[in-house]
Amino acid sequence: MIHHFLKDDVGYEKWFGKNPEGFVLNVYEENVTSDKMHLANCYYLRSESDEGRRTNAHPGSSPTTSCR
């Protein structure tokens, strides 16, 4: 199942709690060579500096898409 999170950190954190071994895809619309697939528990995605803004879309990128 695939979930798409946009400005929904609460939903994303609930999903993560149930799927810590799932995957997260970051897609950059302006530069597809920068697309990244992460394990949900990847240190890059779990940075404290991103608390409260994990699902905000950054310029040129899509919001977080997660799957398990």
Q: Under DSSP, is residue 36 helix (H, G, I), strand (E, B) or coil? A: strand
What is the domain partition of the chain in residue ranges? 2-67
Q: Is the pLDDT of residue 62 over 70?
A: no
**What span, in angstroms and rounded, lies between the C-alpha atoms of 61 and 25?**
11
Beta-carbon-side half-sphere exposure of residue 65 (alpha carbons within 13 Å): 11
pLDDT, tens only, 2-53: 888 888 889 989 999 999 999 988 777 677 787 888 898 888 888 887 788 7
